[in-house]
Amino acid sequence: MAFSIGVVSDTHGQLNSKVEEVLRRYQVSQILHAGDVGDPEVLQALEKIAPVTAVLGNVDMKHRELTARLREIEQVQIVPGLNILITHICGFPPNCQKTLPGHLRDRVLAAVEEDEVRVVIFGHSHV
């Protein structure tokens, strides 16, 4: 059985219908949201498609429900041997030491350097 992951970020309170369409068309098994969800309703809509792991972004700080539910960093194992680290603000390692907030920097860099994670997903850059 194929396993597919949908990755989204920076929805800022609006889930584009084309994004929903693609996630449904490819029947994703898991959705990873790299922060700036913007509204709890975005997570509710995504959860109707597949299980969601999301992180807190800077835009989410004004939403009490999101700050209570989300953490700034998550590490998930989708399949054995594939550990994924998700955060909102980063940069391509080792450059994340320049852009990642100090309290998260050591955790992200240690996970990458110790080969604890194979993939780092981040948002914020709108790229």
Whether the pLDDT of residue 46 is over 90: the answer is yes
Q: Which residue has the tokens 């396993």?
A: 3
Q: Are 52 and 33 in contact (CB under 8 A)?
A: yes
Q: From residue 127, how far is each of 9, 81, 91, 116, 122 by CA, in Å?
A: 10, 27, 11, 26, 10
Average pLDDT, the chain: 86
Amino acid present at 57: G
Cα 52 off chain centre by: 9
Tens of pLDDT, residues 50-105: 999 999 998 999 999 999 999 988 989 888 888 898 988 775 555 555 556 666 77
Q: Are 15 and 38 in contact (CB under 8 A)?
A: no
